[in-house]
Every structure is written in structure tokens, then in C-alpha cells.
Amino acid sequence: MKGELPPLVAIVGPTATGKSSLAVAVAHALGGPDRVEIVSGDAYQLYRGMSIGTAAMTMHERQGIVHHLVGVVDPQVDLSVAQYQRDARAAIQDVEMRGKRAILVGGSGLYIRAVVDDMQFPGTDDAVRGELEKRAAEHGSQALFEELVARDPQAAHRMGASNERRIIRALEVITITGRPFTAFLPQATYVRPTVTIGVDCDRSVLDQRVESRVHTMISQGLEDEVRSVLQQGMGRTASRAVGYAEFLRYFDGEISRDQAVADIITHTRRLTRKQMGWFGRDSRTQWIDALSPSVLHDALVCIDRADHGEIFLSDTTPTRRRLGT
């Protein structure tokens, strides 16, 4: 590519809507392996040895399209969103410097936004965090939440009283920066021209697809995969992934195997709602129906319109509402 770079393509949406397969199809339609490479926007596909539970595409399924940031981190490492932001932006830059086009694809809303939007990450302070964690253990998270209400009511309202981890992080940021935590929340301003394509479908259909996917993962050996990763060592981040957290509870004797499988289905369905909490409120997204026979064509139309300046590529402009209910 010469001259001005074309808009970055981001394909997003809930789990089990077919984003990964669509991204590969789009990549081939835009010129194939010689012209396009894919960068993962999935928080857990980053980890090695977790391919079944994260539904990472096999080499066969990738159809020759190079994928970046899949299976690149040991599961005992707690990779921060800030580090992912640096790595993903560097991968995209590398792809484009080699004259190719990058497609960012994934269902982790925070990770996608960290790449495409103006989003800053304040540092950390182990001493401050340790003191906050100690206070939470001694007095409960409600006391910390009340402090957050006093210091940053907007942040408190957005996260609620039950998310102890985020409350601690918010108070840590406020303490070390002297600024409200909300000052560091994602701003809906693209750092470069971007066309974001959302893939969604009817909720009842998606719930069925989730259940089918989970049973497929079980038949592919998810339980053995979790045991294998556990033997290598799992950090806090990897151990929270849906599919892994439930089997870890089963291994610890807290629940039965059948309950673990049922919980994976329930929690994955819950995850799809959470994902749409991120993606559904972004008015810049061009939504297409995952079940449409013209889904590839629809995605390519969005990209073509963006390439010709017919889609607003920064800040916020209303687009079609999401398809799910």
C-alpha cells in the first residue's frame, strides 16, 4: 500500500457469532495472505495452551491468513490491558509497514477499545494496592466502595458495589495520580480512521449456539486442556476465563462435573450480554446479521464505504442499532 493508509478494520461482537470465520473470509476477499493479516482482540486467546476453551482458530481454519497475538503468553503471566495495547498497536503497525492491511477481531470490548480509541493507562503502585486489599479483607469492599463514592461518584455509579477488584483499582489510580478514575476511562474517539463492524444475531439463537459450542469444546477435550494448563501454572487472569474457572472449581471438589458444564453454558451466555454492554452502546459500529447469507457481502460493503469516505470514521455518529434483543 502506498500513500495514506486505509481505515483499520475491526470486527467485533458477542461470543459464538462467527467473528473469527468472518474475519478470515474478509481477509481472503481483500486479497488473501499476501495482502491481509489478522490481529486478535481476545483477552484469553493470548495465552498458550488455551486454544479449546477460547475457541482459537486452528491452523486449518485460518486458511493461510497470519494471526497475531494468539498463544503468545504463558498462562501464569497476568498480561495487562496496557501491555496488550502496546503489543496490538505494534502488530498492526508492523503489518501495515509491510504493505498489508490489518483486521482486528475479537469479543473483548476493553481490549478492542484500548487499540482503536484514545485510552490511557495509569501506572500501578504495589504498596497502595496492597494497603487497599488489606482494608478490603479487614473491613469489606463496601467500605472501599463508600470511599469511592466520595472521591469519584461517577466511577462508583458505573461499576457498582460488588466489583471489589475494580473498586480497588479505581482507588489506586485516584491515589497515585490525584485524578478521578473516570478520567482514564475509554474515550469514544478513534486514534486513527477505523471502521468497526459488529456481528450479532437474535438472543435465542445465540444462546443455542453458545450451548452447542460449549458441548463441542467438551468433546474436543476442554477438561484435559484445563488440567494441562493448571499443571503448568495459571495466573489470576487465565484462571478467570470462562470454561477454566468452572473446571477449576470441579477439580477442587466444589461442584460436580455436570454442574461445571452447566455453569460454563450459563456463564458464557452471561458473557455475551456483557460483551454487548461494551459493543452495543458504541454508535460508531456498523451492525450486520451473523445469520444472514450475505454476511460477508455486508461486511465488505461496510469496508468499501469506509475506504471511500462514506462512513464517519471518528468520534460518534449514529448507525444501525444492534440486532440482538
User: Is the torsion defined by CA of 239, 240, 242, 246 positive or negative?
Assistant: positive
Q: CA 179 → CA 128, 165, 176, distances in Å?
A: 15, 19, 8
Q: Please state whether 47 falls in left (phi above 0), alpha (psi between -120 and 50) or beta.
A: beta
108 assigned ligand-binding residue:
no
Cell digits for 66? 497470519
H or E segment and range at residue 194:
strand 194-200
253 assigned ligand-binding residue:
no
274 assigned ligand-binding residue:
no
Q: CA 43 → CA 82, 83, 85, 241, 271, distances in Å?
A: 12, 12, 11, 9, 13
d(CA 209, CA 16): 6
d(CA 122, CA 323): 35
18 assigned ligand-binding residue:
yes
Q: What is the DSSP string of 143-189?
A: HHHHHHHHH-HHHHHHH-SS-HHHHHHHHHHHHHHSS-GGGGSPEEE
177 assigned ligand-binding residue:
no
> Count of alpha carbons within 13 Å of 310, Cβ hemisphere only?
8
Q: At what angle do helices 141-151 and 126-139 cross, to 10 degrees?
A: 120
19 assigned ligand-binding residue:
yes
d(CA 122, CA 177): 8
Q: What does DSSP say about strands 187-190 and 117-118: parallel, antiparallel, or unpaired?
A: antiparallel
186 assigned ligand-binding residue:
no
- Three-state DSSP class for residue 66: coil
31 assigned ligand-binding residue:
no
d(CA 103, CA 249): 36
The binding site for substrate consists of 15-20
The binding site for ATP consists of 13-20
The binding site consists of 13-20
